[in-house]
Amino acid sequence: MAEFTMPSLGADMDEGTLQEWLVRPGDPVHRGDPVAVVETAKSTIEVECFHTGIMTKLLVEPGTTVPVGTPLALIEASEKSPPARQAPSEGEHAERAAPGDVREPPGALGAAPAPSTLTPRTPDHTEAGPLARRAAESRGVDLGSLHGSGPGGRVTRADVEHAAADRPGTGTPRTRVTPFARRLAAELGVELATVTGTGGNSAIRASDVRRAAPGSPPAVPAPVAGAVPLASSAPSPSGDRTGAMRQAIAALMSRANRDIPHYYLSTTVDMAAATDWLRAHNHRSPVGERLLPVALLLKAAALSAREVPDLNGFWTEDHFTAGDGVHLGVAVSLHGGGLVAPILHHADALPLSELMKVLKDLVTRARAGRLRGSEVSGASITVTNLGDQGAESVFGVIHPPQVALVGFGRVVDRPWAVDGLVGVRPVVTATLSADHRATDGAVGSHYLEAVARLLQHPEHL
Amino acid sequence: MDRADALDMVKEAISSVVPGAEVADLALDGEFREVLEMDSLDFLNFVEALSEMSGVRIDDEDTPRLTTLSASADFLVTHAR
C-alpha cells in the first residue's frame, strides 16, 4: 500500500491545506494524475500522485491543514497499469454524477478495478486561441475532438460553437462535479446547473461553486469558513491570502539573503539580430504562433545553463548537486500582487514555438491559480524577466536551494558602437545573481557571455 | 462592422485575457494596458483574441496603435473588409 503524502511544493512550504479531492475511493489513479488540490501560502496547486493503482482510502478531509509529509491517502499500487482510460459512457456519467460524497469502493479491496470513470486528460496540442479555448471550456466541448477550420487547422470559436450546437442533448449538458464542490454547493445553496465548471472536461469544482454563491464577488474566491469541516483551518479569505503570500516571500527571501553569499554580474546584450529575426518570424506567422522576446531570452538562458552546469543545480548540505536537466523557473508576477515561479522543464530542449506555448499556458494558469505540483517544485535555475513595461535591469535574490538567478530587463533602444560607429540599437541588460559558495565570478561571467553570444544567432535558438 | 460592434469586440477580447477585469469601467481613451497591468503575454493574448474575433489581421507593427478602447475599435473598423 503506497501513501500519498502532502508534498513539498517549494523550499518555502512547511504545511499545506488540502482544499479538494479530485478523486474518490475506488478510483483508479495513474502516476502523474492530479488527485487533489492543495493550497499553500502562495498558491493553489493541483497535486499529482506518484503511483499507479487504486485510491483506497482518503485520510484527510478537505479544509485540513497538515505538515509536509503527512499521509493524505492510501493507494493500492498495481503491478501493471489499470486499463487504458476511455471516454466514460453515459451510464458511468450518471453513476458518477449521482448525489453523495466520498464513498467507499464498490467492491472489497483488491477486487478488479471498475472500468475507469476518470476523464481522459485532453492532450493540449490542439491549436486554438484563447477565445476558442474559453468557448470550449464554457460549453464543455473537447478541443481535441474538433477539426479546425482556421489557418493551419486552427480551431476557431465558430468551430467550437458549431460543435456545441451539433452535440446531441445540448439541452441537458452533462455535468461533472467534484465531491467537495457538490457538498459545498449544498451548503451554500448553489444550484449546480447554473455553475460553469473550469475543471478538466468542464467539471465543476469548489472554486466555481464559491464564485457562483450568492453575494460572492466575481472571480474572487470567497472565504469558506463554516462551509467545510474543521473550519478553523479552512483556506483563508483572499485578504489574508495576500498577507500569507507576503509572509511566504518574506521568509524565503530572508533565508536566501541570510544563507547565500550572493555575487552579482551584469552585461548589456545587443538585441538587434534577435529583434530583426523576431519581427520577420512574426510577420510570416499567424498571430497564435507569434513569439515575444521573452521566448528568446528564456531559451538563451536555458542553453547557457546547459553550457555552464555549475550554475544549474542545488546547494544542499554544504555541497553542490547538479540538476538532472535544465528546469527553468520563470518568475511570474500575479495581478493581485506577489509572485510564483512555475517551471519550464527541459527548457534547453524546447523549440521556441513550444517554449512559447508552454510559457503562455503556465502564466495563464499561474494567474488563475491552477498549477500542478510538478510545475512549481524542482527548478534548477530561475529567470526573472521584467518584460516590456519594466525597469532596465534587475538583480534578483536566489531562490534556495538553487545557486543562480538570471535577470532580464526591458529591451530598450540605446546608442551602441558597432565597427567604430555609433548607432541606435535595441539592447537588454542581462544580470546574474549567483551563490559564491558554489561558483566564482569567472563561472558567472562565462554564463553571461554565453547568453550574449547565443542571442546573436536567434535562428539557432 | 460598425464601430459599436468593434468596441464590443475589443472589450470582450480584454475580458477573455484578463479574468475579472472591470471592462465596463474602462475609459474609452484610457490606456487599458496600464490600467489593467497587462504584461506582454497578456497583450499578445489580447491581440490574438481580437484578431480571431474580428477576422482582421493584426501585425506586430500595428500593435502600438492598440492603446485605448477607442483606438483599437477604430483600427478594426478601418481594417475590416
| Helix (H) / strand (E) containing A133 | helix A130-139
The span from the CA of A184 to the CA of A174, in Å, is 19
Handedness of CA A67, A72, A78, A82 (dihedral sign): negative
| pLDDT score, position A107 | 32
The cell numbers describing B37, all together, are 497591468
- List helix spans (H) across A407-440: none
Whether A287 and B47 lie within 8 Å, measured CB to CB: yes
The average pLDDT across A171-189 equals: 59
Residues with Cβ within 8 Å of A91's Cβ and at least 6 positions away in sequence, in order, are none
Under DSSP, the state recorded for B62 is: G
CA-based angle A328:A334:A339, to the nearest 5?
50
Whether A290 and B44 lie within 8 Å, measured CB to CB: yes
Domain that holds residue B22: 3-79
- Would you say residue A278 has pLDDT above 80? yes
Q: Are A119 and A200 in contact (CB under 8 A)?
A: yes
ipTM: 0.87
Q: Give A133's contacts in chain B (Cβ within 8 Å).
A: none
Under DSSP, the state recorded for A177 is: B
- pLDDT-derived band at A270 (thresholds 50, 70, 90) equals very high
The cell numbers describing A322, all together, are 547538479
- pLDDT-derived band at A232 (thresholds 50, 70, 90) equals very low
Q: Are A430 and A266 in contact (CB under 8 A)?
A: yes
| Helix (H) / strand (E) containing A364 | helix A352-368
Over residues B26-73, the pLDDT tens digits come to: 999 999 998 888 888 999 999 999 999 999 999 988 999 999 999 999
Strand, coil or helix: A56? strand
| pLDDT score, position A158 | 67
Whether B47 and A363 lie within 8 Å, measured CB to CB: no
Where is pLDDT greater, at A429 or A12?
A429
The span from the CA of A23 to the CA of A339, in Å, is 29
- Would you say residue A56 has pLDDT above 60? yes
Residue ranges of E strands in A91-187 = none
The cell numbers describing A313, all together, are 543545480
Whether A156 and B44 lie within 8 Å, measured CB to CB: no
Quick check: B44 contacting A, CB < 8 Å? yes
Q: Give B40's contacts in chain A (Cβ within 8 Å).
A: 292-294, 387-389
- B52: CATH: 1.10.1200.10
In this structure, how many other beta carbons lie within 10 angstroms of the beta carbon of residue A211?
19
User: In chain B, how many domains are there?
Assistant: 1
Q: Are A388 and A243 in contact (CB under 8 A)?
A: no
Over residues A107-144, the pLDDT tens digits come to: 333 333 333 333 333 444 456 666 666 666 666 666 66
Interface with chain A: mutation pick from B32, B40, B54, B66, highest number of A CBs within 10 Å: B40
Residues with Cβ within 8 Å of A434's Cβ and at least 6 positions away in sequence, in order, are A262, A263, A264, A265, A311, A398, A403, A404, A405, A443, A444, A447
Bridge partners, residue A408, by sequence? A385, A430
First-residue to last-residue Cα distance in chain B: 8
| pLDDT score, position A132 | 67
| pLDDT score, position A321 | 97
The span from the CA of A74 to the CA of A58, in Å, is 7
The span from the CA of A270 to the CA of B22, in Å, is 39
The span from the CA of A21 to the CA of A181, in Å, is 9
Residues with Cβ within 8 Å of B38's Cβ and at least 6 positions away in sequence, in order, are B17, B18, B32, B46
Over residues A66-85, the pLDDT tens digits come to: 999 999 999 988 755 444 44
- List helix spans (H) across A148-200: 157-166, 179-188
Over residues A183-221, the pLDDT tens digits come to: 566 666 667 777 777 665 567 776 676 667 655 433 333
Residue in chain A lying closest to B41 (CA): A360
Instruction: Name the residue among B19, B20, B49 with its Cβ closest to that of A131.
Output: B49
